[in-house]
Amino acid sequence: MANGLMYTSQFDNVSITNAAQDIWELVAAAGVAAIVHWISLTIEPTITAGVAQDVRGRFRLLERSTTGSGGSAVTPAGVHPRNTVAASTVTTRTVTTPGTPGDIKWAERKSIIVPVELIFTPDTRIPIQGGGRLCLELVAGLGAAYNASSVVCFEEI
């Protein structure tokens, strides 16, 4: 059960360029920690002769010590309708020039045919300290641009 305020940030049908980038960058405000509950990422594969073409992507969830550049800000929405408090955490999608890497929390090479679903149990939820950064990184380009949709759910405590 959440003790803080729950938020989601999402994007739909956005082009992911053929380059390394942060799919998400979450920056917690100074003095306001956050906890990531889950992340979902769906990438539309290329269909050739009715068959989805398999491409493997390298993904990492990692801390960064500096903020990247590029990308688009996404305004977090409160999960509960009574949550009218604006989120302090800044969420940015498709950061084209990532910041300085820090500790890696998760890494995997996955097929883009299968959505990435990171659902953290209470004991494995990843905290972001006040002023800290956590990113979902696409380590290398996928060989072409693809459209993607994603949601990240976090709690401010």
Residue 13 lies in a domain: no
Residue 12 lies in a domain: no
Residue 5 lies in a domain: no
pLDDT at 2: 64
Distance CA 111, CA 45 (A): 9
Residue 61 lies in a domain: yes
User: What's the domain range around 136?
Assistant: 21-156
Residue 147 lies in a domain: yes
pLDDT at 82: 83
Residue 96 lies in a domain: yes
What does each of the 157 residues of the chain score in pLDDT, given as a tens digit?
Answer: 567 899 999 999 999 999 999 999 999 999 999 999 999 999 998 888 888 889 999 999 999 999 999 999 999 999 988 888 999 999 999 999 999 999 999 999 999 999 999 999 999 999 999 999 999 999 999 999 999 999 999 999 9
The answer to whether 103 and 47 are in contact (CB under 8 A) is: no
What total of structural domains would you count in the chain? Answer: 1
